[in-house]
Amino acid sequence: MKLTVIGFWGGYPKKNGASSGYLLEHNGFNLLIDCGSGVLAKLQNVLRPEELDAVIISHYHPDHIADIGVLQHARLIQGYLGKQMTTLPILGHHFNQNEFSKLTYKDITKGIALDPSKSISVGPFQITFLKTDHPVPCYAMRIEAGGTTLVYTGDGSFKNELIDFSTQADLLLCECNFYGNQDGKQAGHMTSIEAGELAQQALAKQLCLTHLPHYGNTRELISEASTKYSGIIKLAEEFLTISL
């Protein structure tokens, strides 16, 4: 598997940036995980929108879905220009019917309702889910292919169930919207310290901090997480690529 960070800011994109969006590739299959604000513009530096094979959404906050509409229009326009492509599946939970309904657009995209209690196959990927502690229904994802495992926490505050869910992940892509001296629980987010604790207790092979705050020196998040986790720690940045 190869992960490319497309966007990594929490809440909204910083100037010239993008909020949550991650491209996961394996055996020629291109899966976009979340599609926040600015993601489509950034994605085109590494992949054309018509080359996506599937999209999967953790939850329906705008910083994770804002560019779904422009992705749909990009594929629509490319079709008008003569590109041949199949209907793009966009997978998301159905607990917000208003937002879920927007995943389907003409014959361009088709919303596929997830049953988070079951494992699913998406191309070469096997994906299981865990509901996170967040103000709206949100699901962490454990994605396996080719003998390697990526765990993406989505958005959510620390809870013990994440430890077993993330056990021995080759990469833990963990939200980190707060610094170590803060408390993110009420907002439904993790701190750098909690991200480090999760990685250490889950025996993750490496940790990538994402969904970053807009203030302070974000490099401090690494040093704070390292007080709990002794493995490799990376800070999400535009077009960071991690091969597993």
User: Residue by residue, what is the 3-state secondary structure of 138-199?
Assistant: CEEEEEEECCEEEEECCCCECCCHHHHHCCCCCEEEEECCECCCCCCCCCCCCEHHHHHHHH
**pLDDT value for 89:** 98
**pLDDT value for 54:** 98
**pLDDT value for 218:** 97
**pLDDT value for 197:** 98
Q: How far apart are CA 188 and CA 182, in angstroms?
A: 12
**pLDDT value for 207:** 98
**pLDDT value for 237:** 98
Tokens of 53: 């094979």
The total of other beta-carbon atoms located within 10 Å of residue 179's CB is 18
**pLDDT value for 109:** 98
Q: What is the DSSP letter of 31?
A: E
What SS3 class is residue 118? coil
Q: What is the DSSP letter of 124?
A: T
Q: What are phi and psi of 128, to 5 degrees?
A: -120, 165
**pLDDT value for 150:** 98
Domain boundaries of the chain, sorted by first residue: 2-243
**Residue whose pair of structure tokens reads 């937002």 in the numeric block:** 99
Fold of 2-243: Metallo-beta-lactamase; Chain A (3.60.15)
Q: What is the pLDDT along the chain (244 residues), one digit of tens a residue?
A: 999 999 999 999 999 999 999 999 999 999 999 999 999 999 999 999 999 999 999 999 999 999 999 999 999 999 999 998 899 999 999 999 999 999 999 999 999 999 999 999 999 999 999 999 999 999 999 999 999 999 999 999 999 999 999 999 999 999 999 999 999 999 999 999 999 999 999 999 999 999 999 999 999 999 999 999 999 999 999 999 999 9
CB 63 within 8 A of CB 9: yes
